[in-house]
Amino acid sequence: MSDAAAFSAASWTGYLRPDGRKGIRNLVLVVYTVECAQHVAHAIAAGEDDVHVIGFPGCYDNAYAIRLMLALARHPNIGAVLSVGLGCEYTQPEKIAQVVRASGRPAEWFFIQQLGGTGKSVAAGKDLARRLRTQIRADTPRVAMGPADLTVGAECGGSDGTSGLAGNPAVGAFFDLLVDAGGRAIFEETVEMIGLRAHLLARAAHAGATEQLAAAYAKAERYCREVRQYSVSPGNFAGGLTTIEEKSLGAFAKGGTRPIQGVIRVAEAPRGPGLWIMDSVPDAHFMQFGYTNPNDTEGIMDLISAGAQIVLFVTGRGSVIGSPVAPLVKVTGNRATFRAMEEDMDFNAGRVLDGDLTLAQAGHELGDLIVRIARGEPSKPERLGHREYFIMYKHQETPALAAGCRA
């Protein structure tokens, strides 16, 4: 059997969700609805490996942030949800619990003010989270799963000269493998595709995709012009990157070589198998654009909101972040970074530059690692307990979700 056929035939046991999607983890998610509830939410999850936390800091609510939280709460890796509010904010924990219950998952909620403060809320929350865990461990159906059931996201950050040379192309080689196996692959950062319009459109799978890609590109370019900000940082320049076009081509390499099926937005799942681009750029509205991806974690949360059970993160200079809900897998094209930060780095694509490995071999090795992680082996950030998240105010027009927060 060829390496590609072996990857395609890999199988493991996953968790079947009521919507038919399959998860590789079975987690309880604590969702807080204002910064004031953040400490209590984290105290509830402290010391619990399978209880993760996300939340929104604003008191005034935001449709984008609600959609994002609901997409994460109904993610294939999530079995149950506990929603925690202070008691006077706009975002409603009860409505979040209702939407999650409507998805067939158990969910609980409470207001800290009604329970009588920190100590009582943490104790009650820990008790609820443990009961939810017991319930999903007993009740979640197990199901056979393979690469065709996987959605994998790819993001890059802390880039240097090796990210475009080896790290991103290795992820691109894996994405080709995943797409050929019938899976879904998503990459984003349309503001990092500036200068590549012709490249991008040439990859469209059909006329509809061409139209979506042209619109996403035009919006990203307008965004960059209006905010006078291209997605490059001083660290990128110090690392040897000189222009946004150069960084764009290096970032685009993680999309591999297969046709692009279309554009999805934050909290929207791919509409079929294949390679997809996510548009996470804010739409223009009365408060101007706002920011697109203010940090790497924000972009990773966007990809997870599309249902990615695993996200690949390419970092040349070295990053120590992780993510809740879906394991983050760290790839570096820089052998020195891999050696210096081996505790944090899952995959050394720098071997491509050393001539020890071809790009195709790197893609297959990455495929083997993804299968091991899908089977339950923790990724490095997962093992270290990294669960950074970032949910912000943003304005995006998205197709109405069947179950919005107006239940």
Partner 1 sequence: MPPRAFQIHPADNVATLLDDAPAGPVTLTGSVAGLREIPAREAIARGHKIALVDLASGAAVVKFGAPIGRATQPVARGAWVHLHNLASDLDERSSSLDRQTGAPSDTNSAYV
Q: What residues line the site for partner 1 (CB under 8 A)? A: 160-162, 164-165, 194-196, 199, 224, 228-230, 232-246, 249-250, 253, 316, 353, 355
The neighbouring-strand residues paired with 187 are 154, 277
Identify which of residues 7 and 187 has a Cβ nearer to partner 1 in the complex.
187
* Residue 256 contacts residue 230 (beta carbons within 8 Å): no
Distance between CA atoms of 18 and 333, rounded to whole angstroms?
39
Closest separation in Å from C-beta 115 to partner 1: 45
Closest separation in Å from C-beta 220 to partner 1: 11
Distance between CA atoms of 280 and 186, rounded to whole angstroms?
12
Closest separation in Å from C-beta 28 to partner 1: 42
Distance between CA atoms of 336 and 277, rounded to whole angstroms?
31
Full DSSP string of 366-390: HHHHHHHHHTTPPPHHHHHT-----
Distances (CA, A) of 156 to 162, 239, 247, 288: 12, 14, 11, 26
Distance between CA atoms of 370 and 395, rounded to whole angstroms?
33
Closest separation in Å from C-beta 225 to partner 1: 8
* Residue 324 contacts residue 52 (beta carbons within 8 Å): yes
Closest separation in Å from C-beta 27 to partner 1: 38
Distance between CA atoms of 70 and 332, rounded to whole angstroms?
32
* Residue 9 contacts residue 183 (beta carbons within 8 Å): no
Closest separation in Å from C-beta 79 to partner 1: 43
3-class DSSP assignment, residue 16: strand
Identify which of residues 326 and 352 has a Cβ nearer to partner 1 in the complex.
352
Closest separation in Å from C-beta 199 to partner 1: 7
Identify which of residues 249 and 405 has a Cβ nearer to partner 1 in the complex.
249
